[in-house]
Amino acid sequence: MELVATGLTFRTAPLAVRERAVVPDGEARHVLRYLVGHSGLGAAAVLSTCNRTEFYLVSPDAELAAEAVPRLARYLDPSGGGGVAEHLWSLQGADAVRHMFRVAAGLDSMVLGEAQILGQFKAAHRVARAAGTLDAHLDFVMRRAVSAGKRVRTDTGIGRRAGSLSEAAVEYARSACGSLDGLGVLLLGAGKMSALAARRLASSGARLYITSRGGESAVDLAAQLGGVPVAIDNILDAAGEYDVVLCSTSSPVPVLSRADVDRLQSLRGGRALCIVDIAVPRDVDPQAASVEGVTLVDLDGLGERVNENLEGRRRELPEAERIIDEELRTTVTVIGQRDAAGPTISALTRRAEQLRRREVERTLQRLDVDDAVRAQVDVLTRSLVRKLLHGPITHLRESADDPATALRLREVFDLDEHGGGSNGSPYE
């Protein structure tokens, strides 16, 4: 079995390429079932966010694993004209596991330590489970990645100082306008990212105008924050009220064309307008940046500015990476074993024998007993330990294909802290 992580991220592909590879929520199950049903893969999950589209795959052998990447490129970009194949990266084995752990912990995000990625990773896990495209190994690794991500957030300052792209978008608008107090902000989209931005905008004194394709979500969000819901077909009616436009919809095509922005500026008298587009695919035609008075920044442009303000979080990276390495060692040890149960049974019984011998010797040293009594104590304690271990060992053998079971017992009994071998034991 070979674990593969492959995809596009903001580090490896420009926005113009990434937006071609987006997998919408409604299509994720279909894509995963295609990969598992028609590509010979044993398992598949997909994580598609504004900054990455990644696939986590399990292949029955290394040869098929190598074929999975070009096959995926052809699926995402059938014509080959979108540049996906040129920017697609791939990792295998422990490198793939490490990457998944770092992603879940927010260490591979544009905003280092961002708060949303862990929830998005968990959602990707749920979708794959619902699609029936998880096997025991991928399920195990994804759950371990979530645990590692939680631990990084709990045990380091990255979690306590975590931000988000929506917060970065608001801060960019603030820097562009000087202050948000009293300014009118049009929010295109009323999803999670927009809701986060809306709350921050409201707390900064901005006047909110909220629209969405569905309509109801915009009405609900506006009611919560004292904003004004606007029908998406009528956004130009209040053009004079807008100083900032913040875009974060899931539309597959631009919501605002250059002509729309030109019309908007005409109605506003050409005064300065800041547009922040954090949608992927983009909500605003890039050509709109040439309209007089408009400052347009997209996700990649925002990322360049975000990187200037991450020094405090970068200081937390060594400790975060140490946690990732620790979690990785245990996880790779388990998944690297063809039979996860066998080595764990050996380690468990070896540990039990060490404890039994230590306690027997410690007790007998304080007693004046002959060899016959010593032999009886030895038989008694061996029998007691054997009976105590019968349940865990039986459970391990019945779950030999599930690495999660072996890992849980290794953690409960601290087997990796004390070492573990594959030598025989009197309890096996």
d(CA 407, CA 402): 9
Residues shown for the chain? 428
The angle, 0 to 180 degrees and rounded to 10, between the axes of the packed helices 136-155 and 403-412 is 40
Note whether 150 and 118 are within 8 A (CB): yes
CA distances from 384 to 344, 356, 387 (A): 20, 10, 5
Beta strands in 118-263 (DSSP E): 184-188, 207-211, 228-229, 244-247
Active site residue 274: no
Residue from 90, 101, 102, 91 nearest 140 by CA? 101
CA distances from 131 to 30, 52, 64, 406, 407 (A): 8, 21, 22, 26, 25
Residue written as tokens 């504004």?
A: 50
Between strands 273-277 and 52-59, the pairing is unpaired
Phi first, then psi: give them for residue 42, nearest 5 degrees.
-85, -25
d(CA 6, CA 64): 14
Query: And the tokens for 266?
Result: 């005409």
Residue 350 burial by Cβ neighbours in a 10 Å radius (0-12, 13-18, 19+): buried
Beta strands in 49-195 (DSSP E): 52-59, 89-92, 184-188
3-state secondary structure (DSSP) of residue 47: strand
Note whether 389 and 348 are within 8 A (CB): yes
Note whether 293 and 135 are within 8 A (CB): no
| Catalytic annotation, residues | 50
